[in-house]
Amino acid sequence: MRKVLLGAVLLAGGISIYAKANTQSEDEKLLTQARQFFAPLPSVVENPNNPITSEKVMLGKTLFYDPRLSKSGVISCNTCHNLATYGVDNLPTSIGHRWAIGPRNAPSVYNAALHIAQFWDGRAKDVEEQALGPILNPIEMAMPSEKEVLQRLKSIPEYVEMFKKAFPNEKDPLRYENVGKAIGAFERTLVTPSRFDEFLKGNTSALTNEEKKGLKLFIEVGCVACHSGTAVGGNGFFKFGQFVDYWKATAPYVTLDKPTIPVDLGRFGVTHKEEDMFVFKAPSLRNIEKTYPYFHDGSVWNLEDAVRIMAKTQLNKELTNEEIKYITAFLKSLTGQIPKQALEVPVLPASTESTPRPRAD
């Protein structure tokens, strides 16, 4: 009897060890597969043309939070790209100067420096160039000219000194281009490592079984065709509506009223090439759980709905509820840690002049 029990125990132990080894083997296979499409986040995103220094980052951070870069003195970069809410404002499209409603959803600034280009249509080559656009955009921050931006900054002695320290080798450091370089340097520090990065580095227990199933599906279904690389997206331009027109596909899931805006032609507005009609940059899926509502028009609020729509419009596939559950679980594993320094709001330097004053006209 003892021999029988001992044999049963050993057999059970052997099965348990075999099952564990088999699971580890499957995990290793998934890790190998994942590494073909993804890579862990770097600590910062370097730019050889804009070396990152502590002085430049501090200046960029202060400018990022300063509403005096807007005509009204009310809107800052952080207004639409709130660093406390994962770099977005969680609105379908942002509210700008004199309550103007923008035509597109504000993407997150976290991990944005990894993207192939900036804005949904890719009209800016990098975060340095992108940072300068909204300041002069009449329905965003609405400053009338570069000259007025510089006038306002030069009226603030501490900024004059900060620009000198950030760009020590320049005779005239307080230039409009350097505003973009400083903000860009700060944004290059805004990376959000997640449990998925730990998985990619070799810790296969960093993801749950449900998340691993979702990752496997994400690869096998074909989501990686547009969402791959370090940022899990942001590295290519694709037509939104490969198989189904996106506005038809999203219509059943739009639950809130939003202003009527013209149909967005996407990258066509930049290149004027017919093949770029309805083409947009594939967004990064890092922190996608937190950066709702989704798509370039912010029309869909539920992540599961967004997954279902993308499968249909881009891959012509009808996913089951279970498949969507697993893929969504994986996407939530991409929610990362916001850098502590990003949330430490700077004390803005004071101006010693009464003019130029913010304008609301």
Count the Cβ atoms, other than its own, within 10 Å of residue 204.
Answer: 17
Of the listed 55, 129, 140, 198, which one is catalytic?
140
Helix, strand, coil in percent for the chain, rounding step 5 = 50, 5, 50
Q: Which residue has the tokens 């290519």?
A: 236
> Which among 147, 131, 135, 127 is positioned nearest to 68, based on CA atoms?
135
Q: Is 140 a catalytic residue?
A: yes
Residue 349 CA to its chain's centroid (Å) = 29
Q: 35 Cβ partners below 8 Å, 6+ apart?
A: 200
69: exposed, middle or buried (C-beta count within 10 Å: 0-12, 13-18, 19+)?
Answer: buried
Cα 360 from Cα 67, distance rounded (Å): 13
Paired residues of 118 in beta bridges: 124
Q: How far is CA 178 from the centre of its chain?
A: 23
Residue reference for tokens 């506005």: 247
Sign of the C-alpha dihedral, residues 180, 183, 186, 191? negative
Active site members: 140
